[in-house]
Structure 1
Amino acid sequence: MTTELAKPDPTDAPPPVPQVIRAVPVRHYGRWISAVVVLALVGLLGYAFAQGQVRWGTIPDYFFNDRVLTGVGHTALITVASMALGVTLGVVLAVMRLSKNPVTGSIAWCYIWFFRGTPVYVQLLLWFNLGLIFQYINLGPVYKDEWSDFMTPFLAALLGLGLNEAAYMAEIVRAGLQAVDEGQTEAAHALGMSHARTLRRVVLPQAMRVIVPPTGNEFINMLKTTSLVIAVQYFDLLQAGNEVGSESGATAEMLFLAAAWYLLLTSVLSIGQYYLERYYARGSSRSLPPTPWQRVRTAVFSVGRGRQEARA
């Protein structure tokens, strides 16, 4: 009896050894070209400024001048006051705009239409020059006085900036409220909550995620727009810089100084906006973005660990 040997099955052959793939990174020549072009333009700009007779030493000399600091304080005051008026009135206008009452909705729409359609500079001049039309302000038994005593430069700046900002804030708040799902409102009403309480406890906290970023931008824009209050004779940072510059003969340098103060103030507001956005991002993001201090600490520690590993 003979036995036949099993023939090897060609499918049982060992799989081929995969070859090592050499990954070649894609070379982005456009990035290097654009970087060279940008650096060249920056160099040309620096060269152009170096040709001018700018007395850079006068900027640190007058940076903490008494009048400059007073102007900075007045600018910060009118910015905060105008934004407080704009945000408060903007929330009211947004609720009126979303109301089913046609009267309140129409009034809110007309307000937004007027104040968004006219320049803020014109509104400032209008409030300041109403004394040419009205000699007295008469609110009946509540208040009565001469218009020149009532409409101070601060009040004219506050009304001109705050009422104009309210129109923009109304649209921002309205967009944030409409971004919240209607099911949230229906669920709150099913639990017996009133419309006002639903708006305050359910809708508005969720809408803040949409409202905060553009509101921060409006706050920064308001800080820069305060430079227009010089039209109503309100003493601010720009006017302080102009006065110091005319007395010292360093007019252009004092404008650079004012620009430096504006940059400093807007940087502080930008940091506050970042932390406020991070606060309202809780519950919507799995992990909160790191703070600037956390990023710096991580970068420093990573460099330190890299040096220790290199020595080891």
Structure 2
Amino acid sequence: MIIIWQLKRLMSNIGIWQSLFAPVGVGWTLTQIAIQMGYESILAPYLFLLWYLMPLGLIVGGYIYWPKRSSSKTLPNLDTEIEIRVGDIFSSKAPIVVTIPTTLETEFHSNAISEDSIQGQYTKKYCKDPSVLKLCLQKLVQDNNDFSTVKNFYSNGGDVRKYKPGEVLVIREFDRIAYCTTFASFNEHGTAQISQQEFYDLLPKMWMGIREKGEFGSVDVPLIGSRFARTGISRNKDILRELVYSLSVASADARLADKVTFFIRPSDFTRWGFSFEFIERLLLNVCDEHQQRMMENGSIGQPLDV
């Protein structure tokens, strides 16, 4: 899928077409000059070779203009690499952040959880059945008495436990570690939603939970809140900015991981107007802000404007 995305972007770049035809054009011009100088009889048998310059131009142009799929920077003084990658987060094996409802809902048949969501894909690939994931989450909750809970009553009269956003439950039972993070709540219409302020508040809590309970190494993070939950944030660029910036702030006191990779789906990259110019500027500003914060003995800078 990522190759198809790269090919589409390559074909939409005018540079690749210039590379394709430019060698032929230059060769043809030089040939015409040589013919005017009286070398036509010598060059005539070899004119067909000009068309072989097109594959050469395509190879050179493909090398020069092949679309990037990732960009990364290292946080100063911490050696923590932050990477923003376009691709499928499930092509990786590193521990993954999986956002889950605050009610720990896992079933597909209730239409509460989309099979295309990160939770849905993780369930199908690693847990096989939503009930298996549910049992794992319930056991982890029983082992963590410090979770804050309230009663949440649905319109059908049933009630379930509801947990505050940002709680991290680490699942190690399957082939890929998951940092299940309570995220959105369902309204009376069954739509997952979280307020903008709740989203901002849960990020530091999520990073702290990963640092305290997780594996020190690599962490894969999707563009959480960008598809199936209403966050009150209108642009996915703002969501990415908040994720990266909050990681930098959370790393001010202690190193969180060797590497944190934020994944953007190829379709989302195109749909929401992302560019690597924006991504590289964001990473540069985050690292500069982080270095300044470290120099000021941990004082927090202002939100980035990129």
Structure 2 length as normaliser, TM-score? Answer: 0.21
Counting strand residues as a fraction of each chain, which structure ranks higher? 2
Structure 1 length as normaliser, TM-score? Answer: 0.21
Larger Rg: 1
